[in-house]
Amino acid sequence: MTVSEIKIGGFGGQGVILTGLIIGRAAAIYDNKYSTMTQAFGPEARGSSCSSQVIVSDQRILYPYVSRPQILVVMSQDAYNKFLPELAPGGMLLVEEELVKVANPPKGIKIYGIPATRLAEELGRKMVLNIVMVGFFTSTTRLINADAVRKAVTDSVPRGTEKLNLSAFDKGYDWGAKLVGKA
């Protein structure tokens, strides 16, 4: 049985919850897997710390909460500082490299960085940085089929923004594919 625990952290307004929703939807609806998602955010919402936790498995999930994520995706320094101690030994850390300064990471983890905000700005909408991160997650983890994630992106974003969001996904995916290809 393969169970992958994923934690996504950032601040309100970065699309952290939508990121988790897309990953879970892609796994459960389009990739014939099981998934659960839980979320947490401060009372201030926009600008405060938030996270989403996703479990993806090839069998039914009996406990829906992430206890020790093997994959940690962070889009803010606060999220990095808060959630890094939870990362499982040998886990994978994905960071928005222009917003997160990686300091004293545990030995034995894989670290991949992407300038997701800058890539989103190149597309004309800073708001799609989370979709850039979804693409990056997809290519670096290889946990969920890329076509399944593309379908989940299309189903999850506001109507009329599908093309922009798929472009954001592709930017992130291509960035990750190049990094993993070099590793």
Task: Indicate yes or no: pTM above 0.75.
Answer: yes
- pLDDT tens per residue, the chain (183 residues)? 589 999 999 988 899 999 999 999 999 999 999 999 998 866 545 567 799 999 999 999 999 999 999 999 999 999 999 999 999 999 999 999 999 999 989 999 999 999 999 999 999 999 999 999 999 999 999 999 999 999 999 999 999 999 999 999 999 999 999 998 865
Query: For the chain, what percentages of helix, strand and coil (3-state, to nearest 5) are there?
Result: 45, 25, 35
> What is the per-residue pLDDT for 16?
94
Domain range spanning residue 102?
A: 3-182
> What is the per-residue pLDDT for 46?
58
> What is the per-residue pLDDT for 180?
87
Distance separating alpha carbons of residues 35 and 29, to the nearest angstrom: 9
Q: What is the DSSP string of 124-138?
A: T-GGGHHHHHHHHHH
Q: How far is CA 20 from CA 6, 61, 122, 178, 182, in A?
A: 9, 16, 24, 23, 27
> What is the per-residue pLDDT for 47?
62
User: By the 8 A CB rule, do 141 and 16 touch?
Assistant: no
| Region of 32 on the Ramachandran plot (φ > 0 left; ψ -120 to 50 alpha; else beta) | left
> What is the per-residue pLDDT for 117?
96
Residue 28: which CATH number? 3.40.920.10
> What is the per-residue pLDDT for 104?
87
Distance separating alpha carbons of residues 63 and 43, to the nearest angstrom: 26
> What is the per-residue pLDDT for 13?
83
What is the total count of domains within the chain? Answer: 1
> What is the per-residue pLDDT for 70?
98
